């Protein structure tokens, strides 16, 4: 009898690194529970590697401020993202969470309660990011996490950019659509929108632009 067993395709170096980092990165019980709850609602969450990056960016960005660091999270996964950011915030740091779905905000509130984050360190705005960010104080935030549909990247970035202080960080997860923006044969609406956003963000004045192979291809903008 012939052997019909086929071997799995070997991991790329990038995939192997991600697999190792995710497997060896410790996460708190609160983050684990928040990830499980999000999964039950079909909400995609950052992996451990991306979470560590968020904590590091929040730590570096908030260190530039004398006190009261602040972050904005526009994402259905605000609970998990917020816990990673909170790990890099000082005790007086505040998280502002934006999402139109009340279920998503309820998940975030429970995640924050489980982690012992005080109510005065969190606020929730049940609205679309593009509609509500105009109400936030400009030049007052150290980090903005902007998880939006590809068609909304440029509009949301335009609203978020004035909120950041000099040295602040804007993180756009999934901006590169797992690399499909490089495939010229892809002409669907999302890919075209992401490709256009990528081109325009690279030319943004007053920004240092970094693109990373995490979070399905993240674009990170550092405000000069």
Task: Please choose, from the candidates 165, 159, 155, the residue with its C-alpha nearest in 3D space to the C-alpha of residue 133.
Answer: 159
Q: Are strands 94-98 and 70-74 parallel, antiparallel or unpaired?
A: parallel
- Which pLDDT belongs to residue 7? 62
Q: How far apart are CA 83 and CA 76, in angstroms?
A: 14
Q: Which residues are CB-neighbours of 77 under 8 A, at least 6 positions away?
A: 38, 43, 44, 45, 46, 104, 147
pLDDT at 10: 84
CA 62 – CA 140 distance, rounded (Å): 11
Residue entry with tokens 């000099």: 166
pLDDT, one tens digit for every residue, the chain (224 residues): 444 455 677 889 999 999 999 999 999 999 999 999 999 999 999 999 999 999 999 999 988 888 889 999 999 999 999 999 999 998 899 999 999 999 999 999 999 999 999 999 999 999 999 999 999 999 999 999 999 999 999 999 999 999 999 999 999 999 999 999 999 999 999 999 999 999 999 999 999 999 999 999 999 999 99
Instruction: Please report the pLDDT score of residue 6 as a whole number.
Output: 53
What's the number of CA atoms in the CB half-sphere (13 Å) around residue 27?
24
pLDDT at 9: 76
Residue 147 near residue 79, CB atoms below 8 Å: no
DSSP letters for the chain: ------PPPPPPHHHHHHHHHHHH----HHHHHHHHHHHHTT-----HHHHHHHHHHHHHHHTTSSS--EEEEESTTHHHHHHHHHTTS-TT-EEEEE-S-HHHHHHHHHHHHHHT--GGGEEEE-S-HHHHGGGSPTT-EEEEEE---GGGHHHHHHHHGGGEEEEEEEEETTTTGGGGGG-TT--SHHHHHHHHHHHHHHT-TTEEEEEESSTTTEEEEEE-
The model's pTM: 0.94
So what's the pLDDT on residue 210?
98
pLDDT digits (tens, 9 = 90+) for 24-77: 999 999 999 999 999 999 999 999 999 999 999 999 998 888 888 999 999 999
Question: Would you state the pLDDT for residue 187?
Answer: 96
């Amino acid at each position: 009898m012939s052997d019909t067993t086929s071997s799995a395709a070997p991991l790329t170096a990038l995939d192997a690194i991600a697999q190792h980092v995710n497997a060896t990165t410790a996460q708190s019980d609160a983050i684990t529970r928040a990830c499980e709850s999000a999964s039950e609602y079909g909400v995609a969450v950052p992996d451990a590697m991306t979470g560590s990056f968020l904590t590091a960016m929040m730590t570096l960005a908030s260190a530039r401020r004398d006190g009261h660091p602040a972050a904005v999270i526009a994402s259905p996964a605000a609970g998990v993202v917020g816990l990673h950011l909170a790990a890099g915030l000082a005790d007086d740091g505040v998280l502002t969470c934006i999402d139109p779905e009340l279920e998503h905000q309820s998940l975030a509130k429970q995640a924050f309660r489980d982690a012992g984050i005080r109510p005065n360190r969190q606020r929730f705005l049940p609205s679309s990011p593009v509609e509500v960010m105009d109400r936030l104080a400009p030049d007052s935030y150290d980090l903005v996490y902007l998880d939006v549909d590809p068609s909304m990247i440029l509009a949301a970035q335009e609203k978020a950019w004035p909120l950041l202080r000099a040295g602040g960080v804007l993180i756009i997860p999934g901006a590169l659509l797992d690399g499909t923006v490089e495939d010229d044969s892809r002409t669907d609406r999302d890919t075209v929108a992401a490709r256009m956003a990528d081109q325009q963000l690279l030319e943004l004045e007053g920004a240092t632009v970094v693109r990373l192979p995490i979070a399905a291809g993240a674009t990170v903008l550092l405000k000069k």
